[in-house]
Amino acid sequence: MNHRLHDRAANSLPEACPGLRMTPQRQEVYRVLMGRRDHPTANEVHSRVKKRLPNISLATVYNCLETLVDHGLIRQVNFERESSRYCPNVNEHGHFHDAASGTIHDIEFKPGVNLADFLDLPPGAVIEDIEITLRGKLAAS
């Protein structure tokens, strides 16, 4: 069992974030994302958050998610035209979509990798954000 992960999941925000007022709703939305890192949709987040905040509205969940994204505490992930999903892993990383199970796995870059190593970037391009999505199957191991 990964205690490091578990401990983080049990807390609310890792540290204060400048300019972000920490309300019970935002705290709980964040807590829920940390508690189960399965890339839930806003709807799923709403269901989970309602366990503790039964009166929270879906609109508020959307607001909280947007705020947390804007402050860099979580990331919004899009697959095709499906509903957005949310992910508390703010490291640069990609996602692997297992078609069979519908699960999503974070994909880390191998250490020391540089985008320009494998992509033919336009000269002078300054990259601000990367989104890498793989779709496929996990062969039975």
Partner DNA sequence: TCCTAGATTGGAATTATTCTTGATATCGCT
Partner DNA sequence: AGCGATATCAAGAATAATTCCAATCTAGGA
Binding interface with its own copies (CB under 8 A)? 76, 78, 80-81, 84, 94, 96, 99, 105, 107-110, 113, 115, 117-141
Q: Rounded distance, CA 65 to CA 113, Å?
A: 30
Q: HSE on the CB side for 62, CA within 13 Å?
A: 6
In angstroms, the CA 26 to CA 24 distance is: 6
Q: Determine the interface stretch with DNA among 59-67, 93-101, 113-121, 128-136 (rule: CB under 7 A).
A: 59-67
Binding of DNA by 60 (CB under 7 A): yes
Residue 90: closest CA among 73, 68, 106, 77: 73
Q: Which does 110 bind (CB under 5 to 8 A by kind): DNA, its own copies, none?
A: its own copies
Answer for the pair 28, 49: CB distance below 8 angstroms, yes or no: yes
Nearest approach in angstroms of CB 87 to DNA is 13
Of 69-88, which residues contact DNA (CB under 7 A)?
A: 81, 83-84
